[in-house]
Structure formats: structure tokens, C-alpha cells
Structure 1
Amino acid sequence: MRVLNLFFKRLIDFFGSLIGVIFFFPILVIIALSIKLTSKGPVFFKQERLGMNGKVFKIIKFRTMVVNAEKIGDGLTVKNNNDNRITKVGKTLRATSLDELPQLFNVIAGQMSLVGPRPPVTYYPYDGFENYPDWAKKRFTVRPGVTGLTQVTVRNSVSWDDRITVDNKYIDAFNVWFDIKIIFQTVIKLLKSENIYMESDKKSTKRSI
């Protein structure tokens, strides 16, 4: 049954993302032009992330910050939408999560899924896949997702280890209908914009670049 669910999951990922790219194409063009005309640098932000089985791939997002933002100020950490590294267009994109739309191309390429654990950067919260504890490596047994159980429950309100625990629960409970439920819950969460950032005293839970 799990193999069948994974088969249908990939079909939904591919055709769902392809339809999404076609449907959102006008919005993608408008966003790209807005970024290009209002700030210096590339339209897209590409960053190495850990994917399925710890394989490294480059995630694609719309650029919402100044070039080399991760080397300025608080580095990977973004405490709130008033961070002066965030561009004017970037504030809107981050608040609405529209900066994540280009990840549909990652899904089409088979690097990501519509639903799954979010892919971490290669060096945080652990430095390299090999340094993750065995219990945490479980989250890498499936393709990382554009959204996931963590995003519709705790989002960024808890530590990374707690988020990994939720990711592992998703893997245990996975089926296609569960994925569909998470996608609908994601839409509701985006409208509420909850837990995008956290207070400055919770270092491990702030949204990253």
C-alpha cells in the first residue's frame, strides 16, 4: 500500500506542479519583473539544501533579500519582516510565501515533493547529513516538501529538533489523502500568516533565509 501511495504521490507532484506553473505563470512573470526593477541582483535565490537520503540539491526561491544577505547582519536568521536586508518587494513575498513558488520547478525535477519535510541548509541545524543523529535521519527517507505537517502545525514556533519530530510523525502517517489534507491546511495557514517569525530570544526557531 505504501508503494502505491508513493507512486500516486509522485504523479500528483509532477502534474500538480506542472499545472501550478501554468496557472501561476502570469504571477511568476510579474514577481520576477518586480524584483528585477526594484533591487540589484538576480531574480532567483538558489541555495544548497539537503534532500532525500541526504543528497544535496539547489532549492529555488524568488530573491527577497539583498545579495549575500546570509553574510550580513544575523546571517541565516531573520527575526522579523523589518530586517533591513529584506527588499521592499521581498517583504510582501515573504509575508505571503509567494517567494516559495519557484520550488514547483524543484518538484517537477524530482528533487522535492509538494508535501514533505522542509529541506534544511547543508550546515544547519547539523553540519552535514552524516552528523544528524540516527532518529533525525528518518526525515530524509522521503523527498523534502514545499509544505509539510510541520508547516501546518508548529511552523517556526518550536526548535529544529521538535520540528524533526513532527516530520517523522508525518512519515509514519503518510498517505496520499493525508498529503491532500496538508495542502488545504497550508492554504488556510498562508492566509493567517502565523508563526513566520519568532521572538528574538528563541534563536533556533526564527525563519531562515
Structure 2
Amino acid sequence: MLSLLTKGNLIRYQFVLVSGDVLIALGIFLVSHNFFPSQLDSLEGEIFIIPVLLMMSYMCGRYQTATPFNFKILFFSFLVILIGVFLHLIYSVDQAVAYPKVPVISLISFFLLQAGWHRLVHDLYKSRLLKQNIIVLGTGPIAEKVERLIQGDSDHYSLLGFISTPKDLVTVPQDKIVGSIENIVDIATGKAGEANSKANSIIIALTEKRGNPFMDQLISCKLNGIRIIEYPSFYEMLTGKIPIEDINPSWLVQSNGFLITPFLRRVKRCLDIIAASFLLIIISPFILPIILIIKWVSPGPVIYEQERVGLHGESFIIYKFRSMNVDAEKETGPVMNSSSDDNRTFPFGAFMRKTRIDELPQLINVLKGDMSFIGPRPERPAFVRQINEQTRFYNERHAIKPGITGWAQVMFRYGSNIGDSIEKLRYDLYYINNMSLVLDLVIVLETIKVVLFRKGSL
């Protein structure tokens, strides 16, 4: 899970909370099964409610932060209790009608214990026991960026000070410089400072890295149990994106990620085919009504075809339900504005964008192999050329297939200009660097939340 630390260790935090909730739910239902054997003859009838509990907890934000047990949580908890009892009634009519209090008590117990567990985890994460002491190697602009990151996550990190080097600029306050590279080992291990001043990590944040012969000192620190982290990796851990302006090709090469194996590609392709086929079957009854409404409210073709850039920079035709008026770009040409409130859309088209209905034909692109379910959003060739002129590493996002949804889509707002596209590139590179089925699952859950509850940034 260490490769998935994002947004202040959010995914690790979520993993701990979910694991505890699963154990709580299993414990409660095992106790119910053992203490009420005549009322609950089948453990299977109780276990199947657990995914519902976890999904509803996720949707109401219980795994995002230490959400207080407020009215919204109470409402969702009550709703899940009703759903759980209803499912139990369907599964075992005779038992549930006679003893409805058993599932009710079990569900209430789950939410009470869940609230206590989440509070315990939150308090532990904010405690001094888990707080990381950080020393920053560098005194220039990049070191200042590290300080701002630490200040933004002060519950988990504490800055002990900066270490100066002969070559690096000095733009940080002098009173925060705790020593020089020559005595970094003593400072980092706490031998030259106050009690409890030992560093957990050293962040390398040098503006000028050439001509700094200090590797022996860093090796000594590492052998003393201190992690050595490059600034881009630290930034990635805390923000869920990659600082493209502060990395170079060698960092990409030396990174533990950016390794897209043939096996991972094949697994994703198999999952794409299964999911796209399943969803097409599910939505098939709604396709004809959508087509008829589009034809009725806006004369013109139902399916909108547009050239996009995909895997390895090769172009393909993307399919969408048309949400804009015919010839909407005839006078303006290509416009980088895909927001749901775009004035080029007709009313039902705006609704389709808000609910993502217009994206459904892209399931055909997935089956054809042009796209994947999860990946960077495919951009138009004209905009790809513009962005390439203004930033580096944009072509690296074409190392994988573009997706219907992705890390950038759930973490950032609609892109309406080149600056937004560059910001999304930071998230796209993070996804490529950390691509895994676990991260894909997180993106799927976040996408569901956005579509159903209009939360997030998709």
C-alpha cells in the first residue's frame, strides 16, 4: 500500500478503516448467528449485507477523512438499516418477520462500533506516536515547497529544519537552518539536538544537485533507519500527483513505478471487456429512449464522433451521445471547454453531461480496444500539440490507453484551458506511476460517488 499514499496518506487511511469495518461486521453477524441460531439459520443471509454497509459508508464519506458522526451520517445509517432489514426480509421471510429485532440490533451495533473505531483510528493518526519528523536537505525554492507541503499536513509531519549545502541557494529563513551537510548524520540521528529530535525522513530538495558530494552522509543516515526521499516522491505521496516542473527524465527512469507490464495490460483488457459487456446489457433498455429524446429536442445525428489521441499517440474516433447543438464549433473552431454548463449544449445535452449519460457510447470504444475504463482522458489532436509546446512529459500519458474515467477526473475539476490540462497531467502521471487494480478500484468507487451524489471533480 505504500505506493498508493495520496492526499495525506488517504488511501492507507481508508484501507485501515475499511479493514476494521469488515472485521466489526463479521464479528457482529457471527455473534448474531451463534446467539440466535433458531432465528438465523443461515449465516449467508447475514454476510451478504456487509458489502451494502461498506458501500453506503463509502458513499456518505466515512472513509474520506475523520468525518464526525453528524446528521448526514445518522441519516445514511438509518437508511442502511432499513435497506438491511428489507434485504433480510426478502432473503428469509419467516425468520425476519418473527424476529426483525435481530438484524436491526446488528445494524445499529455496527454503526455504533464503526463510529468508535473511526474515532480511534483518527486519534491514532493524529497522535505524536505516528507523527513523522522531517529534515529537508536544501535551502532554496524547492525546500520552501517542501515546507509548505508539511504545513498543509501538520497532523502527520513536523519540520525539524533545513540542512545547507555549499551549492544550494538560500531562500529559507536563516533561523530554520539547523546545520550543514557535514554534520547531517548527527543532526538526523538526534545526537546534535534536543531529545526526541531524531528525524524519520530526509527530503532531498536541492535546487542545484550537481557538485554536491554528500552520498556517504546520506548512506550513513539510511543505515541508521532514516528514510531518504526525493522531493518529487514526497510531493507525490502527499498530493496524489507528480510535480512535472521539478522532475527530469532520470527521475522517471529511477522511479519504482512507470513499469507497465504486459501482464497488467492483459488483465486490464480482460476486465474492460467484461465490464463493458455487462454495462451494455444493463443500459440497453435505456438506449432507445435516449436516442428518441435527443432526436426530438435537437435535430441532427444522435452519436457525436470526434478524433482523439490514444495509445502511443495514435488517433481514434471517440463516440458520445451528442450533447451540443449541430455545428456548435463552426464559427469558433475547437474550444477547450467541456463543462456541463457549456452554452453550446442544449438542455437535455447539459443533463446528459451532468449525469455522464453522454459518455455511454464510449463502452463501444472500450470493446473495440481504443479505450480502457480507467486511464487519462483522451484529448483532441489540436490541444495535444498546444499542451506539448507548453510543458514536458505530456506524451508520456499516451503510454496507456485513455479511459472513460481516471485519477485526474475524480481528483480535479473540468478542464477548460491549457493550465487545467497541465494540472491534470500531474494526476495522470501519478496514475501511470502507481497503476494497479487497487487504485483502479478506488477510482471506480469515486466515480460512482460523483455520478450518484455529484461529489468530487469528475
TM-score by length of 2: 0.40
Partners of 2:323 and 2:352 within 8 A in 1: yes
1:110 aligned residue (369, 372, 379): 369
Counterparts of 1:13 and 1:103, CA distance in 2: 12
Query: Per the alignment, do residues 132 and 59 of structure 1 end up closer, same or farther by CA in structure 2, a change over 3 Å counting?
Result: farther
The CA deviation at 1:6 is: 1.8
Distance (whole Å) between structure 1 residues aligned to residue 425 and residue 443 of structure 2: 17
The 3 A distance-change label for structure 1 pair 79 and 21 is closer
Aligned positions of 1:76-115 closer than 5 A? 76-78=335-337, 81=340, 83-115=342-374
After the TM superposition, list the runs of 4 or more consecutive aligned residues in structure 1 that deviate by more than 6 angstroms. Answer: none
**Greater Rg by CA:** 2
Q: Is the 8 A contact 2:387 2:394 kept in 1?
A: no
Q: Which residue of 1 aligns with 2:306?
A: 47
Cα distance in 1, alignment partners of residues 308 and 390 from structure 2: 14
Q: 1:199 — aligned with what?
A: none
Distance 2:445 2:282 in 1: 17
| Residue-pair matches, total | 195
| Displacement of 1:119 | 0.2
Task: Tell me the equivalent position of 1:11.
Answer: 270
1:74 to 1:53, Cα distance in 2 relative to 1, 3 A: closer
Answer yes or no: is 1:141 the counterpart of 2:434. no
SS in 1 for 2:394: helix
Q: Where does residue 192 of structure 1 map in the other structure?
A: 454
SS of 1:111 mapped into structure 2: coil
Taking a change above 3 Å as real, the CA distance of residues 138 and 77 of structure 1, as seen in their structure-2 partners, is closer
Q: 1:93 to 1:79 in 2, by over 3 A?
A: closer
TM-superposed deviation, 1:43: 0.3
User: CA 1:122–1:5 in 2, change beyond 3 Å: closer, same or farther?
Assistant: same
- Name the aligned partner's letter for residue 279 of structure 2: G
User: Structure 2 CA distance, aligned partners of 1:82 and 1:141?
Assistant: 32
Question: Which residue does 2:279 correspond to in 1?
Answer: 20
Residue 139 of structure 1 and its aligned partner are, at CA, apart by 0.2
Shift in Å at residue 29 of structure 1? 1.8
Aligned to 1:171: 432
Deviations 1:63-90 (A, max 9, x none): 0111111224685244865544211210
Partner of 1:159: 420
Q: Which residue of 2 aligns with 1:202?
A: none
Shift in CA distance, 164/128, structure 1 to aligned 2, threshold 3 Å:
closer
Structure 1 position 104, deviation (Å)? 0.4
2:372 maps to amino acid: S
Aligned partners of 2:387, 2:316: CA distance in 1, in Å?
Answer: 13
AA aligned to 2:454 is: K
- Tell me the distance in 2 between the aligned counterparts of 1:79 and 1:134: 24
Deviations 1:100-158 (A, max 9, x none): 111000000000000000000110142598x6865111100000000000011013266
Q: Match of 1:70, SS?
A: coil
C-alpha contact 1:69 1:75 (8 A) present in aligned 2? no
Residue-by-residue CA offset, 1:42-73 (whole Å, 9 max, x unaligned): 00111000000010001100001111112246
The whole-number CA distance in structure 2 between the counterparts of 1:162 and 1:78 is: 15
Which residue in the other structure is 2:14 paired with?
A: none
SS of the counterpart of 1:124?
helix
SS at match of 2:376: coil
After superposition, the CA RMSD in angstroms is 2.4
- Aligned CA distance change for structure 1 residues 5 and 44 (closer, same or farther; 3 Å): same
Counting aligned pairs with the same residue, the percent is 32
Secondary structure of the 2:381 match is coil
Mapped contact 2:411–2:457 kept (Cα < 8 A): no
